[in-house]
Amino acid sequence: MKPPPRSRGASSPRRSSGAAVSLPRALSKLGFCSRTQAETLIAEGRVRVDGRVARNIATRVDPGRARISVDGDPVVAERKVYLMLNKPRGLVTTRDDPHERATVYECLEGHDLPFVAPVGRLDKASEGLLLMTNDTRWAQRVLDPVSNVEKIYHVQIDRLPVEGMLERLQAGMVLDGERLVAKSASLLRAGIRNAWLEIILSEGRNRQIRRLLGAHGADVLRLVRVDVGGVQLGDLPRGAVRHLTPAEKARLDLPVRTAPDLLRPLRG
C-alpha cells in the first residue's frame, strides 16, 4: 500500500504536543495518513522513529519532537485545513471500508489536500453537511458533548406526524439502554402522505434520529444535515467540497477544556 499523496502546501513548524501518542495516531495527527494505513506501513517496516525502524504499533511518540519518516522521507506537520462536504447518499464515512464500499473520500479526489478525517459521521443512507479536517484537537472539541454543538437535520418521514409526536421526540425515551432525545422537533411542511421535519440534536448517538422516529412508528425516507454549530450547508452542490471561511471556522473555535473541566462527567 502506498501512503497518500502529500500536499504541496507549506508545512507547519514542529512543536511539542507535550503528550505521547501511539505511532499510528501520530501519523494521523500529522496529516500523513489514516491510523489503519499507518498500521500497515508500520507492519511493513516502512516507518522509522529517530532513525530506527518501528514495527510495533503500540510505540508511543511525541509528534512534535520525534523524527518520524516513511520510506526515508521525513513526515512533517501539514497545514491545517477545515472543509465542508455535501455528502451524497450511498457513501460511507470512513477512509478504509472492509467491504470496499464507496466512501466520502471519493469526493476529495483531484483536490490538493493533506490527509483529512471526518468530524463525526453520517451513516450511508444520510446526506448533507460533513465537516472534515486534519486538526484533531479542533475536531475533538467540536465533538465533545460538553461543547453542546447543535446539529440541524431536515428529515422526510413516510407519514404525517400524529398529534403529540413532536412533543414526545423532545421529551425523549430510553432505547437499548440509551437515552435518546431531540432538543427540538418541528414540522417544516406536510404533503398528503409524508412530511418534512426539522430536528435539532445537541449530542450525537448512533442512528439517533432514525431510532427515535422508528420508536414512534415512522420510517425515514431522507435525512439531510443542514447545519453544524451555525455553519450552514447552504447551496453547496451534492458531492462538492470547499474550505470553511474564516467566519465559519470561528463559529466552531471552541475553548480548550481545562483540567477541572476534564474531571467533569460527560453528559449523555
- CB atoms < 10 A from the CB of 68, how many? 20
Distances (CA, A) of 88 to 28, 61, 228, 241, 244: 25, 37, 17, 11, 19
- CB atoms < 10 A from the CB of 34, how many? 19
Q: How many CA atoms lie within 13 A of 238 on its CB side?
A: 7
Virtual CA dihedral for 148, 233, 35, 268, nearest 10 degrees?
20
How many angstroms separate the CA atoms of 218 and 201, rounded?
18
Q: Which cell numbers hold the place of 182?
A: 431531540
- Which helix (DSSP H) or strand (DSSP E) does residue 38 occupy? helix 35-43
User: Choosing from 62, 96, 97, 123, which is the catalytic residue?
Assistant: 123
Q: Which cell numbers hold the place of 24?
A: 499510528
Q: CA nearest 240: which of 80, 106, 112?
A: 106
Q: CA nearest 214: which of 142, 134, 152, 155?
A: 155
Q: CA nearest 181: which of 190, 189, 172?
A: 172
Q: Which cell numbers hold the place of 31?
A: 496529516
Terminal Cα distance for the chain, rounded: 39
**Residue 176 among the catalytic residues:** no
Query: Which residues are annotated as catalytic?
Result: 123
